[in-house]
Amino acid sequence: MLNFFRFIGALEGISYLVLFYNMLYNKINNPELYQQLLFPIGMVHGILFVLYVIIAFYLKVEYNWSVKKLGLVLLASLLPFGTFYSDYKWLKS
């Protein structure tokens, strides 16, 4: 389950960066493309984020993580590149 969580974390991090790219680049340079991509990218990112949080709580129980470790893993999901750092720092077996 930890490897699946790491995979979901990577996908969530990538979707977060794609969402930022769409918001920062396409909104100014190509507003029509921005509008077309906003819902699908946002929906995928939202599903991955919710899945990431649910699995994090499951792993806290399964691996007996401290509240601090859970908090750091969840906090990392809110920052750009945070899930990649979380994977490198706290999830490598």
Could you tell me the mean pLDDT of each successive run of 10 residues in the chain, 93 residues long? Answer: 94 95 92 94 96 97 95 94 92 73
pLDDT for the residue numbered 14: 96
pTM over 0.85: yes
Domain span at residue 9?
2-91
- 22-47 b/e with 16+ CB inside 10 Å = b? beeebeeeeeeebeebeeebeebbee
Tally Cβ neighbours within 10 Å of residue 88: 9
- List all residues 6 or more positions away from 63 whose beta carbon is below 8 Å from its beta carbon: 2
* 41-58 confidence digits (pLDDT tens): 999 999 999 999 999 999
pLDDT for the residue numbered 5: 95
At CB < 8 A and 24+ separation, what contacts does 31-40 make?
none
Q: Give the Cα separation of 93 and 90 in Å (integer).
A: 9
| Number of domains, the chain | 1
